[in-house]
Structures are given as C-alpha cells and as structure tokens.
C-alpha cells in the first residue's frame, strides 16, 4: 500500500521510493512525455503517475511479450502491484485501501496497459468490477470481511455477469439463486470472466425471479472456494493472453444469505453502475495500448530508412503519425473527463460510454496504422505492434460492445432534450 512506501523527491523532481517488501531497492522515476495533461493534475496524481509509469516501464514491459506469448498469468507482478497499493486504489483507507481518486486510478490503468494490456485488465477487473460494487453496495460487515484482502492483492476479484446466451442482453441471464433458510442455492453457468481461474472472490449476478427480467436480478459476493463451484472452459483468445478468461459452473452452490450484495432484485442496477465505472477503466486500457503503438511507430519511423531517407521525413508517414497522435489525445481527454465526473459525484454514464467507444475504436485504428508504418516487420512477432493490434480488439467488445455503448449514448442523449 502507499502507506508502506517511503518517497524521496530530489530537486530535479525525481522520485525515489522503496517498498517495505524490498527495502534497499531504490527506483529512479522520471517524468515521461504528456506534460500538458500532467500539468493539470494534482501533486498526488502526478506522483502516482510517476510511480506507476516507472514501475510499468521497468517491471511490466520487459516481461509483457513473453507472458503474452506463453499465456502466462503475471502473478508476481500482481503481488507487487498489491504491495504498491494498486489493487485497492480507491478502497477507503479504513478497509486497507489507498483511498485515492478515480482519475489517478485511470492514470494507473493507462500506464500499466501501455506496458501490458493483459496486466491492465487484470488490475481493472479487480478494482472496478470487484472492489467498486462492494464499496458502493456492501454492508459494513461485507466491507470489513472482503476489502482488506482485496486491497493488498492477497485475494483477487472477478465479475460474473455474462453467460453463453446472455452477453449484451445482460437482463436475460439464466443462472438462478433460490433461498433456503439462511442460504441461497446457486445453479448455472457464467462465462467470459476475466481473472476467472485466478480469482478468490466473485461478484455473481443471478436471477431470483426470472419473470421480473432485469428487476429480478440479484448480486452476491461469492467465495470461489465454496462447494459446488468449478472453473470451466478456459478461453484461447486472440489477444490479452496473459490474462485468464474462463467459465464458472455453479452446481447447487450454497452461499450464506449474508453474502447478498444490496437487496434482492437490485442486481441489474448494481451491474450497470459497476460497468459505468469499469468502462472508464477499459477506455484507459485502450488509450494505453494506443499510446504504446504510437510510441513504437515514432521510434520505428525515425530509425527506418527507405529511398535514402528516414521514413519519418515522408509526408505519408507524417500524416499517419499526426492522425494517430490526435486521436490518442482526444480519447484520453474523453476518458479523463469521465473519471473527473465520477470523482465529483456527477452523472457519468454517457461520458463513460463515450470514452470507452471512442478510446476502443482509437486503439483499433492506431494499432492498425502502427502495423502499416512498420510494414512487413509490423506483421511479425519481432516487433510489439502486432501484440498491440491483437490486444486492442477486445476493448471494442468486453464490458459492453461498441454497439452497446452507442445504445447507451443515444438513450442518454435523447433524454437530454
Ligand atoms: N445505472 C443504473 N441503473 C441503470 C443503468 C445505469 N447505468 N442503466 C440502466 N439502468 C436501469 C434502468 O434505469 C432500468 O431501471 P428500472 O427497471 O427501474 O426502469 C433498468 O436498469 C433496466 O434498464 P434498461 O431497460 O435500459 O435495460 P436493458 O435490458 O434494455 O439493457 C443495456 C440495457 C445497456 C443494453 C445493458 O443490458 C448492457 O449494458 N448490456 C451490456 C452488458 C455488458 O456490458 N456486459 C459485459 C459484462 S463484464 C465483461 O465483459 C467480462 C469481464 O470480466 C471484463
């Protein structure tokens, strides 16, 4: 946690820190790029940016490609991120978290994802989709029981809403929970669960009254070592291969009634509110991927020679770089705007959907151009842009497809006038 870190700032604005776990190990942090954006941040937010950008560059990026190639879950990195406080970023300090704001969290997800999109979604699903609904809807007892271990990364969280036949149409889930005395019995199959095989705790959405559709959906906090739970199929994906995506099977799984999150029938609203926040995290992930692709393209274009000149001197390449750079900054502004509204307690459903839609499509567009700039080299695993391209695609799909974001934006906009 941040409380366990000693920070030293020298007169050149370099930060040196050591964590309790690695006493004696000092990291030098340098502020990299994006000065205009950073100048608008508070001192705390700037400090978090420096800390996480240095950690991402020095510890996450060097292993990203190999972890992804081998579909290897980055357990050691998640442990370190837990020690640094990034697994309980906005969890209140009384529950062992850092009590920080959502914008600094978004900054962290962007930096982590720039180095490794898989690590980005592992951290994002844990913070936005697991810690967040417990903070917003949990009882004091649930917060005391679950948040401390989640905040330090000792336990990992996941979010089980989708099912094989209920993805975009989340209200039509078939998994059921029936009350029996002081317990609920859950039966059904959940799918597309980020962190599925690694998680200890899940926020699970079930139907307690199918006739009521969305108003019959109920949320539970579920310990995944409970009897009657089995991890099902593990997905072989196009990208973000270092993150786990699985099904989870509930077969007469008995859950204490005190694990009900919110009240019976409140689950759909809990899911939607949680996804409003989660989508800003995915937008930040997309911005991080797009920035990585832009940076790689600029470096490559300056080094690569053709027709006796650096290709960065050709207007065809310059126009691509200009458009990539413009779209990345626009995506980032939308993302930070949504996070700022959330911080201020204002409505942000529309802005969150806009940020996710635009940032995801930007990531896809920018990574496509990045491969084009790299030519044949970009199509090989010798350069990282093919990984960025594969990773970018999922941001247009999970936590609500781009089509679902357009539905949300249209609905909100039509109700404004
Ligand atoms: N906040 C709070 N309440 C909301 C809400 C929001 N953002 N959006 C809707 N609601 C409420 C409505 O007010 C309505 O309330 P009442 O019953 O009181 O009237 C209720 O929820 C139902 O709303 P709708 O009629 O709009 O619901 P719908 O069935 O038409 O669905 C939808 C709307 C936007 C399409 C929604 O189903 C949706 O977001 N679908 C996508 C689901 C999704 O993102 N899935 C991804 C799962 S997570 C994942 O990807 C895996 C992972 O691990 C990363």
Q: What is the pLDDT of residues 203-246, one digit of tens each?
A: 999 999 999 999 999 999 999 999 999 999 999 999 999 999 99
Output the CA 134–ligand 1 centroid distance in Å.
Answer: 18
Whole-angstrom distance, CA of residue 259 vs CA of residue 238: 35
* Continuous H helices in 70-190: 75-84, 102-115, 117-126, 132-137, 140-151
Residue appearing with tokens 């997309």: 286
Contact 356, 405 (CB under 8 A): yes
CATH superfamily of 157-268: Butyryl-CoA Dehydrogenase, subunit A, domain 2 (2.40.110.10)
pLDDT at 384: 98
pLDDT band at 39 (very low <50, low <70, confident <90, very high): confident
pLDDT band at 34 (very low <50, low <70, confident <90, very high): low
Q: Which residues line ligand 1 (CB under 6 A)?
A: 125, 159, 161-162, 168, 170-171, 192-194, 214-215, 268-269, 272-273, 275-276, 349, 398-400, 404, 407-408
pLDDT band at 32 (very low <50, low <70, confident <90, very high): very low
Whole-angstrom distance, CA of residue 141 vs CA of residue 146: 9
The percent of residues above 70 in pLDDT, for the chain, comes to 91
* Residue 361 predicted with pLDDT over 80: yes
What residues does CATH 2.40.110.10 cover in the chain? 157-268
Closest CA to 160 of 188, 121, 127, 136: 188
Q: Output the six-digit token pair for 183.
A: 């317990």
Predicted TM-score (pTM) above 0.85:
yes
Topology adopted by domain 43-151 = Butyryl-Coa Dehydrogenase, subunit A; domain 1 (1.10.540)
pLDDT at 17: 42
Q: What is the residue-averaged pLDDT of the chain?
A: 92
Ligand 1 atom nearest 215 alpha carbon: 17
Output the CA 264–ligand 1 centroid distance in Å.
Answer: 16
Output the CA 102–ligand 1 centroid distance in Å.
Answer: 21
pLDDT at 72: 98
What residues does CATH 1.10.540.10 cover in the chain? 43-151
Active site residue 399: yes
What residues does CATH 1.20.140.10 cover in the chain? 2-28+271-414
Q: Output the six-digit token pair for 295.
A: 């940076």
Report which protein residue has its CA nearest ligand 1's atom 25.
214
Report which protein residue has its CA nearest ligand 1's atom 28.
171
* Continuous H helices in 127-206: 132-137, 140-151
H or E stretch at 315: helix 315-343
The count of other CB atoms within 10 Å of the CB of residue 265 is 16
Tell me the C-alpha to C-alpha distance, in Å, between residue 241 and each of 70, 160, 388. Answer: 8, 19, 12
Output the CA 393–ligand 1 centroid distance in Å.
Answer: 22
* Residue 247 predicted with pLDDT over 50: yes
Query: Is the model more confident about 5 or about 355?
Result: 355
Residue appearing with tokens 């799984």: 253
The hierarchical CATH code for the domain 2-28+271-414 is: 1.20.140.10
The whole-number average pLDDT for the span 398-402 is: 98
pLDDT at 35: 58
Helix or strand or coil: residue 414?
A: helix
């Amino acid at each position: 946690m941040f409380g366990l870190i000693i920070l030293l700032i020298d007169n050149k604005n370099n930060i040196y820190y050591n964590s309790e776990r690695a006493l004696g190990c000092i990291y030098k942090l340098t502020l990299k790029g994006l000065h205009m954006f950073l100048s608008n941040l508070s001192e705390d937010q700037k400090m978090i940016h420096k800390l996480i950008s240095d950690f991402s560059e020095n510890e996450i990026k060097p292993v990203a490609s190999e972890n992804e190639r081998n579909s290897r879950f980055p357990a050691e990195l998640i442990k370190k991120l837990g020690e640094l406080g990034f697994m309980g970023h906005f969890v209140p300090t009384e529950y062992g978290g850092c009590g920080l704001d959502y914008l600094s969290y978004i900054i962290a997800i962007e930096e982590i994802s720039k180095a490794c999109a898989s690590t980005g979604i592992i951290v994002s699903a844990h913070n936005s989709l697991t810690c967040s609904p417990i903070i917003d809807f949990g009882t004091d007892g649930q917060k005391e029981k679950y948040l401390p271990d989640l905040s330090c990364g000792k336990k990992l969280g996941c979010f089980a809403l989708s099912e094989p036949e209920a993805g975009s149409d989340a209200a039509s889930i078939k998994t059921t929970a029936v009350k029996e005395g002081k317990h609920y019995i859950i039966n059904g199959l959940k799918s597309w669960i980020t962190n599925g095989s690694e998680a200890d705790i899940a926020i699970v959405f079930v139907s307690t009254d199918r006739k009521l559709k969305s108003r019959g959906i109920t949320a539970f906090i579920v310990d995944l070592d409970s009897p009657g739970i089995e991890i099902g199929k593990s997905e072989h994906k196009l990208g973000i291969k270092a993150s786990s995506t699985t099904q989870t099977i509930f077969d007469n799984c008995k859950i204490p009634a005190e694990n009900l999150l919110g009240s019976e029938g409140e689950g759909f609203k809990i899911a939607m509110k949680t996804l409003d926040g989660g989508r800003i995290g995915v937008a930040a992930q997309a911005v991080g991927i797009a920035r990585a692709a832009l940076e790689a393209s600029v470096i490559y274009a300056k080094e690569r020679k053709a027709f006796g000149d650096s290709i960065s001197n050709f207007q065809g390449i310059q126009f691509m770089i200009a458009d990539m750079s413009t779209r990345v900054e626009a995506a980032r502004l939308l993302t930070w705007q949504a996070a700022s509204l959330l911080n201020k307690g204002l409505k942000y459903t529309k802005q969150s959907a806009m940020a996710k839609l635009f940032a995801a499509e930007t990531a896809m567009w920018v990574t496509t151009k990045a491969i084009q700039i790299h030519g044949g080299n970009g199509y090989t695993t010798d350069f990282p842009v093919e990984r960025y391209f594969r990773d970018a695609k999922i941001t247009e799909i999970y936590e609500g497809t781009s089509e679902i974001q357009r539905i949300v934006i249209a609905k909100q906009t039509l109700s404004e006038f």
